[in-house]
């Protein structure tokens, strides 16, 4: 179940609140992966859990990259460092 939650929140994160949904997807994916490993093969969904974790990490990295890029552009154009003229 946690593997499906991980995938659902990761897909939802591409359309709404990417940071929050990515964190939930990563946590749920790790939890599912741990539960699947502890079940000795009785539970399935390892691929879904891994996909949710990987996509969540990629989404967080993309958001971080875009934030850094935004601030670099602001600094390079001089918008951030100028006061009233």
- 8-45 pLDDT, tens digit each: 988 898 899 889 999 999 999 999 989 988 988 788 88
CA 26 to chain centre: 6
Q: For residue 43, give both structure tokens.
A: 């539970």
Q: What is the chain's mean pLDDT, rounded? A: 87
Predicted TM-score (pTM) of the model is 0.80
Q: Please, which pLDDT band fits residue 3 given cuts at 50, 70 and 90?
A: confident
Exposure class string for 9-42: b at 16+ Cβ within 10 A, else e: bbebbeeeebeebbbbbbbbbbbbbeebeeeeee
DSSP 43: S
Residue 60 has pLDDT above 90, yes or no: yes
């Amino acid at each position: 179940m946690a593997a499906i939650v991980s995938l659902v929140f990761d897909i939802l994160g591409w359309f709404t609140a990417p940071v929050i949904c990515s964190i939930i997807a990563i946590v749920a994916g790790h939890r599912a992966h741990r539960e699947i490993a502890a079940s000795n093969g009785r539970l399935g969904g390892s691929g879904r859990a891994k996909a949710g974790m990987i996509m969540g990490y990629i989404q967080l990295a993309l958001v971080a990259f875009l934030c850094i890029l935004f601030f670099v552009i602001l600094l390079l154009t001089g918008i951030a460092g100028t006061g009233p003229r």
